[in-house]
Structures are given as C-alpha cells and as structure tokens.
Amino acid sequence: MNDQKNTLFSEFDLNGLKLRNRVVMAPMTRNLSPNGVPKDYAPTYYARRAQGGVGLIITEGVEVSHPAASGYPNCPNLESDEAKKMWEKVVHEVHKNNSSIFCQLWHVGGIRKPGLPPFPEVPGFTPSGYVRPGKKVAHEMSHEEIQELINIYSEDAKTCEQLGFDGVEIHGAHGYLIDQFFWDEINFRDDDYGGSIKNRSRFAKEILEEAQKNTAENFKVGIRVSQWKQQDYDAKITSEPDELNEFFQILKNAGADFVHCSNRRFWEGEFEPNGLNLAGVAKEATGLPTISVGSVGLDKDFIKLYAGDHQTKTVDLEILHEKLNKSEFDLIAVGRALLSDPDWANKVQDGLEEQIIPFDKSFVDNYV
C-alpha cells in the first residue's frame, strides 16, 4: 500500500467503536422504500459497500416517527414491524462483512409540501413558519411540539439500538428541520429556542442529550451539520469563527460522539481558501471525531450534476490523502462514487483507481 494511503486505510477508534478504516459511506436518499419499508434488495445494497471496503456505513435518511417528518416519496422509516425486520437484515449483512453501520434520523421540517402522503393534512413543521427568508408557509412549532419531537428522536434512537445499529446520526444539515432552528434568517423565535447561537442550538442539544440518555454507552450518537442550505447555498449558521467554535462546543457538551460536516466540496477551506474545512474547524474546536464529505473522487459537485451536467470523471485523491495525513479531520464520507462503484474503497486501497466506474446521474435510479 502506498505510504500516502496509510491514514485512509488505517483503523480508527470512534469513541470506543473500532473501525477498520477511515472510509465512510455517506447517507444518500434513494426513494426506494414504499410505505416506509426498505425493498428486499436493501440488505444486499448496503452489504455490497461493506464488501467493497467501507469501514462505516451511514444509512440513507430514515424518517423519525412523526407525521410531518416526510418530505419525499418512498423514504424509509422505523414504524412498522416490516420495516424493522428489514433494517435488522441490513444491519446483519453489514456486520457480517466487517463494517459498522449508523442509522441517520431525519425530519425535513418546512421542506414538507402540503398534501404529501401518508398524512396529507399535516403541514411542514418549522421554528417560525418560514421555509426560507421571506417565505412563511409552514407551521410554527409550539414549545410542547418541540418537546414531543425531542422525545421521538430519543425513542427512535433506542429503536435503532434494539435493531442492532452501532449508532445514529442526527441529520442537522442542508436546511432540514434542525438546521432551520440553527438558521437565524428563518428562526425568529423569542423563547429558549431562538435568538443567540446558544438558543438556536438548543433543539439539537436536547435531542443529542436525550438520545444519549436513552441508549447504552457503547451506542454512538452524533450529528451531521452544514453551513449551506438547499434553500440557499450561500447561507451559513454563522460567518464568525468564534461563534462557530461556540456552536461546535455546544454539540460536544451535549454528548455528541462525532460531528459529520457537510461541504459541497471537501477541499475548500471554511474561512480561507486553503484553510481548514468545516470538519477541520469542528475538530480543532472540540477534539471530537469528525467526518468530512463533499464531492470526494469526483470532478464536480452534485449541484452541477443535477443541473444537467450529468457526467463526472474520477479525480486524483492527493488532496484527500494530504488532509487526512495532517489529521485535519478523521474520516471521509464518500457518496455518489460509491453508487457507481461499490468497490471504490478496495480499488483505491489496491492502487486500481483507473478501474473505478465513473458516476453519472443514471446510477441514482439503480439500486445495485
């Protein structure tokens, strides 16, 4: 193995969970779970990435057990016995192939559109009724509804533990519900859940705390965050370095076992072009294990791909190796490159990058 790759394929201890390497399968929505139940092929789909050399798998977004959680058709949940049995099979197959697996718990918040089944009468839930700045079209959550949702996240984390998952990732990124609380341009609450960065982070803080209390010590609870939002790619939780450090400290003090920081392009610095990326800032601020993500191994980000430029080329991973070798972050999540080639990790480790199957948008519709 090339010395430059030693870090990427070295073992990592994620707060007591031993991972065989630093490669993570990023969560990717597949819309292939009718009535919330993953299709029969799901165990094979996830197992193929474990066989292909991934050390940690994070599932596609799994809707929490709340009527307003869903925002897209055919996304999985944990509610029916049938769904739970399928997730048990997924976990078994992944573990059989020497990988660990976290379930990503997801609530879309105000992204939900009226009329969406299975509860068409239920509106999108938000901190202040806003989906984006100037667009107040959703339901403003009461204090009681916030507490109810905190409990739901906690109970769903417990369910994941009972199903055999190694941990959960709370989805707090990309403009979904938790991120809507973080975002001061749409969170106008005047109670404990709005205003300062401390208050805007309280919802996430209490979810992390309650999920930790409701699960065993060896069960991992972490969170995914991003500066950008799907409603506004230039939006930020904060542009102030000190406030961003405070934000990450809040997550650490709430008991987060890891922080997964989503960039559109992992190689871009948060405050300087060649500086630390968001995961690097989080690690420096907290010392927590951090996961970075963003167009790994691809020559363009997902926005260009879905805007019509559907072809990608596999690119050199020198920058990734450099950042990992400097310990800027600990783990790297790979998304679309693993859809097109489940053996991506093994090929990189074996020096067979030229054999990697390039991603194009057609792979989104395939479940292989």
Catalytic amino acids? 176
Whether 101 and 90 have beta carbons less than 8 Å apart is answered as yes
Q: Are 8 and 23 in contact (CB under 8 A)?
A: yes
Alpha-carbon distances, residue 94 vs 49, 100, 138, 161, 285 (angstroms): 8, 7, 38, 15, 32
Phi, psi of 290 (to 5 degrees): -125, 145
118 preceded by cis ω (within 30°)? yes
Distance of CA 346 to the CA centre of its chain: 23
Listed residue (140, 251, 247) closest to 206, CA to CA: 251
DSSP letters spanning 188-204: ---STTSSSHHHHTHHH
Burial 197-221 (b: 16+ CB within 10 A, else e): bebbbbbbbbbbbbbbebbeeebbb
Rounded Cα gap, residues 353 and 22, in angstroms:
17
Cβ–Cβ < 8 Å for 246, 197: yes
184, two tokens: 């001061």
CB-facing half-sphere around the CA of 252: CA atoms within 13 A: 16
